[in-house]
Structure 1
């Protein structure tokens, strides 16, 4: 499909002006977010996530040098903002998602990170530094999870970003756990001194993979530690959350201020709703294809995203689903999916999304603080996680002695111990409170000159 001509200037069609306010740490609390995902975090996915209840969304990691060479263009029909490379769009966004959009940078250089952030800051509300991706395309240049072993460089990038960005642009970071809890706390202390307003912790180590159980119980001490620093920084949990309702369980276990969803959002962008869509081949797939074509989303990217959709079947038989998947596998472009889509009413899809987002601002959708009944009313103590879980999820309480609040969601493996050889903390482990302030904090690894 040929790309429509773009205008290098702003869209001539007047956009409804949205009220802008500064993103602070409070905006990162009591929410459920769409995680940054390469390929899967495409513009249509983010828009559907916002429509169905995501509080904020993260764009996919974009390497600093890549965006510096991109040309910003605006589609005069759809309003889509594209940062185009030589042959394709490197990153796309739409003005309607700006108040809820966090741009994630992959960088190992403070100056390049600042240049990249300045390039896109007119289209986003926050900048996030990727310090956790373990994939070779990120770590080979010292970016992503490689920054975990180079805390001086990591902190210098965050400090530079916070100094360079205007007040209304938030700065945050996303890390992974270190094998040692003590080293993790030392690293977190240094990161919290850079001026960030939020820290996302993927509760796996660099060597762990997605099929291994996230060690979410380790996060509770980290949250207490950050709160003890008194900087008001929000801590966001990432790992093994299945949706809006499951986020309540995760928050109860971890004490995290908010929860971030990756794989479940990839499989079903409507998982942020109280009632996620089922029968996705009929309820979501056609709408996603219509919207993607209207927004001129790259076909290969769209095809990848829709093939990741997974959800419960109620009114669709397995044979129908298999037929749909076979049709998608053979499709060479949007025209090949007309039988699945019907009429190409992508503009109507976009109008509905804009109306939903503007009438129910996503950043106002919040998880409520859990208010438990008294022990006497329940006839049982709430001193244990299992007892608390019976209040939140009474339908899933088992008669066994297993700690329900730590139960791994279905279809997620739970190796014992994790392959990274990072053991769980003993039950007797007690936090000693925040580390004392130091002029030159000890780092998990030898420092290097920056």
Structure 2
């Protein structure tokens, strides 16, 4: 299959580099807003990606690649379709091809990480481990070039020998890749070591494909005007920024950088609009704060645990409420249009539906399990009994609830035992046509005022119901606070 190399040009471009935990959709969109030409996603491992299904998210207007545990591994949208490069970690040509074909219609190019020295990348022979296996490099890139319709690129680090680096670059060029990104440090060197501009320049002179220079954030690129200077110093076609863009993405603005607080607010808008996980949002904001992470603002940010709390720190409560209201209205409209999708289906003797428990949809201290328990008592039925299984693949949980000698289960796996039980309760309630207590639903009278005033649904009567397979103790993982995030954490990619 021939490549459509001309669709994404890699000459005279400024790119957001792939960075683990940083290069998610909100950061990529923010970089594009500020003037970046190309944005790379964080490195995503092929073994994880091959398990994913492509799902159209009509509420967010995104394309989500969803793992078996129902977690979104990669999210993209139309705004970045012609600019986003999907970077994968791989050491297997056929698995790489499977992943590339899965995502190729939703991205602008496919990139293989051959430079990250961290164990996250190098285990299994991926990342910088590939630098010592040029035959594997050639096999992976050749397979991708022949097998997908989008441009294929790769990102390497330099080798200890200039001659070996140039020879590897030439061998990579012969596979037919559209461009080559070069981080001007060896796999043993770290950000405090100077970037070897002369080696990048030698590579650029040795090959005819575009070379993208990377590694200049600390010494060379502190403002937008420095991007051109770094490109000239390396003789490269384009420049890729990691830490400089992570610290302040408005470095891509030709008009000059914006105040950091404005940048953080712009980032939060994208994070809330696209339902980014709060812990990831907080991590990226803390990286922007850098040495100010211990400031009053930094301490407030660190204490925030949800997107709503993050917005409160920045005085963006109204924005959060308005955005959530819009998304909720859209969800309800789509649910009305597609109500047939959630009809119960029998799986043997178990009634199933694809349901996931979202705590945000319910009032504080009120849960579907509480409604099901009270309904069972009112109908003079045995108390609901939950049987929970845990999947070895990803440690996901799935519960089956028995009520009135009938069984109910969600087909989706949850991140905790408690969430799995709530999902099972929702399936039962919806199948029976019983109110489940969501925000905005009329008061069914099932859960009385005493229970509403009880603090902590984990300690309410619903948790006293006998369960099988797991102890009744609350899931400790849900109570753990996120560990301190410091700007000293090194960016990988």
TM-score, normalised with respect to structure 1: 0.67
TM-superposed deviation, 1:173: 0.8
CA separation in 2, counterparts of 1:213 and 1:47? 30
One of 141, 166, 178 as aligned partner of 1:158: 141
Partner of 1:234: 210
Runs of 4+ more than 4 Å apart: none
Aligned: 1:78 with 2:60: yes
CA separation in 2, counterparts of 1:116 and 1:326? 40
Partner of 1:30: 12
User: How many pairs are equivalent?
Assistant: 318
- 5+ residue gaps in structure 2? 324-487, 489-493
TM-superposed deviation, 1:92: 1.0
Aligned: 1:305 with 2:305: no
By relative contact order (CA 8 Å, sep 6+), the higher-ranking structure is 1
- 5+ residue gaps in structure 1? 1-20, 228-232, 313-317, 349-411, 413-450
CA separation in 2, counterparts of 1:143 and 1:87? 26
CA separation in 2, counterparts of 1:193 and 1:292? 40
1:85-234 to 2 correspondences below 5 Å: 85=67, 86-166=69-149, 169-227=150-208, 233-234=209-210
CA separation in 1, counterparts of 2:90 and 2:178? 19
CA separation in 2, counterparts of 1:134 and 1:342? 39
CA separation in 2, counterparts of 1:271 and 1:124? 24
CA separation in 1, counterparts of 2:38 and 2:318? 28
Partner of 2:315: 341
Secondary structure of 1:274's match? coil
Secondary structure of 2:125's match? coil
CA separation in 2, counterparts of 1:332 and 1:176? 37
CA separation in 2, counterparts of 1:218 and 1:23? 26
TM-superposed deviation, 1:328: 0.6
CA separation in 2, counterparts of 1:120 and 1:341? 37
1:297-376 to 2 correspondences below 5 Å: 297-310=276-289, 322-337=295-310, 338-345=312-319
Alpha-carbon contact 1:268-1:311 (below 8 Å) kept: no
TM-superposed deviation, 1:71: 2.3
Partner of 2:225: 245
Q: Do the aligned partners of residues 163 and 309 (structure 1) sit closer, same or farther apart at CA in structure 2, a change above 3 Å counting?
A: same
CA separation in 2, counterparts of 1:76 and 1:276? 36
Alpha-carbon contact 1:287-1:341 (below 8 Å) kept: no
TM-superposed deviation, 1:240: 1.2
TM-superposed deviation, 1:291: 2.2
Partner of 2:264: 285
Partner of 1:271: 251
Q: Do the aligned partners of residues 126 and 161 (structure 1) sit closer, same or farther apart at CA in structure 2, a change above 3 Å counting?
A: same
1:33-48 to 2 correspondences below 5 Å: 33-48=15-30
TM-score, normalised with respect to structure 2: 0.61
1:409-428 to 2 correspondences below 5 Å: none
Alpha-carbon contact 2:214-2:240 (below 8 Å) kept: yes
TM-superposed deviation, 1:310: 4.2
Q: Do the aligned partners of residues 191 and 25 (structure 1) sit closer, same or farther apart at CA in structure 2, a change above 3 Å counting?
A: farther
Secondary structure of 1:27's match? coil
Alpha-carbon contact 2:300-2:313 (below 8 Å) kept: no
CA separation in 1, counterparts of 2:100 and 2:239? 25
Secondary structure of 1:160's match? helix
Alpha-carbon contact 1:23-1:125 (below 8 Å) kept: no
Alpha-carbon contact 1:64-1:107 (below 8 Å) kept: yes
Q: Do the aligned partners of residues 121 and 155 (structure 1) sit closer, same or farther apart at CA in structure 2, a change above 3 Å counting?
A: same
CA separation in 2, counterparts of 1:279 and 1:252? 28
CA separation in 2, counterparts of 1:190 and 1:285? 42
TM-superposed deviation, 1:334: 1.4
Provide, for residues 1-52 of structure 1, a one-character-per-residue CA deviation record: whole Å limited to 9, x for no partner: xxxxxxxxxxxxxxxxxxxx94439710001100011101111000000010
